[in-house]
Amino acid sequence: MSARYDFTSTRLFVEADLAAGASVDLGDAQANYLRNVLRFAPGDGLLLFNGRDGEWRARTAEVAKKRVTVVVEEMTRPQTPPTGVDYLFAPLKHARLDYMVQKAVEMGAGRLRPVLTRRTQAARVNLDRMRANVVEAAEQCGVISAPEVLEPEPLEKALGAWPTEVPLAFCDEAADVADPMAALRGRVSGAIGLLIGPEGGFDPAERAALLRLPSVVRLSLGPRILRADTAAVAALALVQAARDGDASF
């Protein structure tokens, strides 16, 4: 029985449309990577995906000094729809934000939505860097649907526009529910939001606004105080486990 994913081939995210017989000219950075780092030659194989057309096997047709062209051959996996998990988070600084974005991609986030809270430590968000981390994580972990990265917005605005029918889970150290899976069970089969606050937590007014939402789900991550990036991984794992559990019934 063969493995579900091919982790031995080089995978690249491209913007071009993918179909059998299509010719794709790689961007400068990707061309340099194949030509000078991996030492690709004409005829070498790789995998391509663009988040729309599935994953495709391709081969290099031309490896020149200033361009690398690949030809698309056959689909290896059909496109999967976005997961429906909106991941809202207070931005962190530099390397910790890189880590959190990469792990969110690996853990199945469908969209990444930075929200600015009253205690957010990083006031500026480098969206290009975030998108680069999304692509890198998707290439490395076999993801076909690269999550969309949205512009930052104030938490109050995000909560004010939140659809009443969509559950919004947030990690609440004061949550009475000891079993987070019990809190999520039956509420995660469709669209859902997951909100991770800043270091230091939400301020009282923000927490009160969250608790007023009709669809809010309070999650307890246990007795320990977790860093925001650690809490993100733990909470996303819970959401995905609950979604898998709901799908089995």
Which pLDDT score, from 0 to 100, does residue 177 have? 58
The boundaries of the domain holding residue 211 are 85-247
Predicted local confidence at residue 210, as pLDDT: 94
Q: If you average pLDDT over residues 230-235, what whole number do you get?
A: 88
Q: Over the stretch 37-84, which tens digit does the pLDDT of each residue have?
A: 999 999 999 999 999 999 999 999 999 988 899 999 999 999 988 888
Let me know whether 100 and 45 are in one domain. Answer: no
Whether residue 126 sits in one domain with residue 27: no
What pLDDT shows up at residue 8? 84
User: Is the pLDDT score of 244 beyond 80?
Assistant: no
**pLDDT, greater one: 99 or 81:** 99
Is 25 within 8 Å of 68 (Cβ atoms)? Answer: yes
Residue 113 · residue 87 · CB < 8 Å? yes
Say if residue 184's pLDDT is above 60: yes
Which tens digit of pLDDT belongs to each residue from 33-49? 999 999 999 999 999 99
Answer yes or no: do 174 and 56 share one domain. Answer: no
Q: Is the pLDDT of residue 155 over 60?
A: yes
Q: Averaged over 219-240, what is the pLDDT?
A: 83
Q: Are residues 173 and 57 in the same domain?
A: no
Domain contains 6:
no
Torsion, Cα of 151, 154, 160, 164 (10° steps) = 60
The count of C-alpha atoms lying within 13 angstroms of the C-alpha of 28, restricted to the half-sphere facing its C-beta, is 0
Residue 4 within any structural domain of the chain? no
Q: Are residues 29 and 90 in the same domain?
A: no
* 101 and 184 housed in the same domain: yes
Supply the pLDDT for residue 248: 44
Query: Cα–Cα distances in Å, from 222 out to 99, 125, 188, 234?
Result: 22, 30, 20, 10
Same domain as 95, residue 192? yes
* Within-domain flag for 111: yes
pTM: 0.87
Q: Residue 99 to residues 156, 199, 218, 233: CA-CA distances in angstroms?
A: 26, 15, 24, 10
Q: How many domains does the chain have?
A: 2
pLDDT of residue 87: 96
Q: Give the Cα separation of 229 and 240 in Å (integer).
A: 17
4 pLDDT band (50/70/90 cuts)? low
Contact status, residue 92 vs residue 115, Cβ threshold 8 Å: no
112 and 228, same domain (yes or no): yes
Chain-centre distance of CA 159, in angstroms? 21
User: Among residues 22, 42, 77, which one ends one of the domains?
Assistant: 77
Q: Which of 52, 77, 102 is the last residue of a domain?
A: 77
Handedness of CA 6, 9, 11, 17 (dihedral sign): negative
Greater pLDDT, 20 or 82: 20
CATH number, residue 127? 3.40.1280.10
Q: Is residue 2 part of a domain?
A: no
Q: What is the pLDDT of residue 223?
A: 67
Residue 169 phi, psi dihedral angles, 5° rounding: -90, 135
DSSP string, 148-163: EEPPPEEHHHHHHT--
Q: Tell me what pLDDT residue 17 has.
A: 96
